[in-house]
């Protein structure tokens, strides 16, 4: 019988300091997430310098708290997994340095995890992932379609040419003067309105790529034009029209990819997987097309270390290791 594998995961790529212990890539033993959101909300967005300073202040305490919560010591841990990128460089450095220190002091293997691999494996905490599958990654920094032939194999088949979905949500939120982080609020507002604004369906072509800057500009122009005419914008209607275009183009291209690759398993990953429009429409479409859809629980959609420890298990099983020279990378491809 194989021994159980306990991975301690560390995530600090943006504004959450998080540590988690996951058993065999599927069972959340203990997770601590310290969000800095309230602090950054005062500035209307994440301030990198403040984020890294807060990570430094909190990381040791969060590691200790997680071990206490799990009622475990470092002796019980098989390996340390850490987000090495992409993200804010100063923030990443704190997690990477903490992980290296633990690996060195306690003589544990160090496993490097790409942040997006983490978002993808958040799904394994809900249901065992089956392959091949298509992953739709939608976050503040990413919008990608990924074909996974097998565990821990990632083939990008399309991605955004400009803004990520979450980024577009946050910018639209700013235009209609919704406080940071605007994405969830725009999502909520969209249900109080109707699709009354004539916005374009962005990059409606045969590729698997996306583009959201045109849609964002259409929203900006519309708001400016209406303001100049002395008209008031119906924010709920605008949120509804915007969300509808986003959901329409994401579903259209993803459903086509599933058919083209003859894949019957699909997962959604990233912070925007919390979007109710996306969740509802994909659930409907996948059910009627015989596609097995998994979406992470809300708590695993936004940044957390549970997903890093889950991905870390599969990376560990594949023999992925980093030395003490592991570098944090602000930009790095998922391979």
The reply on whether position 144 binds Zn ion by CB under 5 A is no
In degrees, rounded to 5, the angle at the alpha carbon of residue 184 between the alpha carbons of residues 180 and 190 is: 115
The reply on whether position 139 binds Zn ion by CB under 5 A is yes
Stretch that binds Zn ion, among 131-139, 148-156, 208-216, 319-327 (CB under 5 A): 131-139
Q: Which of 6, 84, 169, 313 binds ligand KG4 (CB under 6 A)?
A: 169
Return the number of the residue (28 or 167) whose C-beta is nearest Zn ion. 167
Distance CA 74, CA 197 (A): 56
Q: How many residues does the chain have?
A: 335
Residues of this chain, 174-193, that bind ligand KG4 according to CB under 6 A: 181-184, 187
Distance CA 332, CA 335 (A): 9
Q: Phi and psi for 9 in degrees, rounded to 5?
A: -105, 145
Return the number of the residue (16 or 28) whose C-beta is nearest ligand KG4. 16
Q: Contact letters (x/-) for Zn ion, 207-246, by CB under 5 A?
A: ----------------------------------------
Distance CA 56, CA 322 (A): 22
Residues of this chain, 4-33, that bind ligand KG4 according to CB under 6 A: 14
Q: Contact letters (x/-) for ligand KG4, 123-152, by CB under 6 A?
A: ----------------xxx-----------
The reply on whether position 296 binds ligand KG4 by CB under 6 A is no
Using DSSP, state whether 60 is helix, strand or coil: helix
DSSP labels, 267-327 = EEESGGGG-HHHHHHHHHHHHHTT-EEE---GGGTSS-HHHHHHHHHHHHHTT--B-TT--
274 binds, among ligand KG4, Zn ion, none (CB under 5 to 8 A by kind): ligand KG4
For Zn ion, how many residues bind (rule: CB under 5 A)? 2
Q: Which of 15, 16, 28, 303 binds Zn ion (CB under 5 A)?
A: 303
Tell me if 269 sits within 8 A of 334, measured CB to CB: no
Strand arrangement of the beta sheet that strand 6-11 belongs to: 27-35, 16-23, 6-11, 79-85, 110-114
Distance CA 8, CA 308 (A): 9
166 binds, among Zn ion, ligand KG4, none (CB under 5 to 8 A by kind): ligand KG4
Stretch that binds Zn ion, among 27-35, 133-141, 166-174, 304-312 (CB under 5 A): 133-141
Residue ranges binding ligand KG4 (CB under 6 A): 14, 139-141, 166, 169-170, 181-184, 187, 270-272, 274-275, 302-303
Residue ranges binding Zn ion (CB under 5 A): 139, 303
């Amino acid at each position: 019988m194989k021994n159980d594998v306990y991975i301690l995961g560390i995530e600090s790529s943006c504004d959450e300091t998080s540590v988690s212990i996951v058993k065999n890539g599927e069972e959340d033993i203990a997770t601590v997430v310290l969000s800095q959101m309230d602090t950054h909300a005062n500035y209307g967005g994440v301030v990198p310098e403040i984020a890294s300073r807060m990570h430094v202040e909190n990381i040791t305490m969060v590691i200790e708290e997680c071990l206490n919560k799990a009622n475990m010591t470092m002796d019980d841990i098989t390996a340390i997994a850490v987000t090495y990128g992409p993200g804010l460089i100063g923030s990443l450095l704190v997690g990477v340095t903490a992980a290296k220190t633990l690996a060195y002091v306690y003589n544990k293997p160090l496993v490097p995890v790409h942040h997006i691999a983490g978002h993808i494996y958040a799904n394994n905490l809900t249901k065992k992932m089956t392959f091949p599958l298509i992953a739709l990654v939608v976050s503040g920094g990413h919008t990608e379609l990924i074909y996974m032939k097998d565990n821990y194999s990632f083939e990008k088949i399309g991605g955004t040419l400009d803004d990520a979905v979450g980024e577009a949500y946050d910018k639209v939120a700013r235009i209609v003067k919704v406080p940071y982080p605007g994405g969830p609020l725009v999502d909520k507002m969209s249900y109080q309105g109707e699709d009354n604004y004539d916005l374009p369906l962005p990059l409606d072509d045969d590729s698997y790529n996306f583009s959201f800057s045109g849609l964002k500009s259409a929203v900006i122009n519309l708001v400016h034009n209406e303001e100049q005419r002395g008209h008031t914008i119906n924010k709920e209607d605008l949120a509804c029209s915007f969300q509808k275009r986003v959901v329409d183009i994401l579903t259209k291209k993803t459903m086509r990819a599933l058919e083209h690759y003859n894949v019957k398993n699909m997962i959604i990953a990233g912070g925007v997987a919390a979007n109710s429009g996306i969740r509802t429409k994909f659930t409907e479409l996948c059910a009627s097309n015989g596609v097995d859809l998994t979406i992470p629980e809300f708590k695993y959609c936004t940044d957390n270390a549970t997903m890093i420890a889950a991905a870390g298990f599969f990376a560990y099983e594949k023999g992925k290791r980093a030395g003490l020279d592991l570098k944090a990378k602000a930009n790095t491809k998922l391979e």
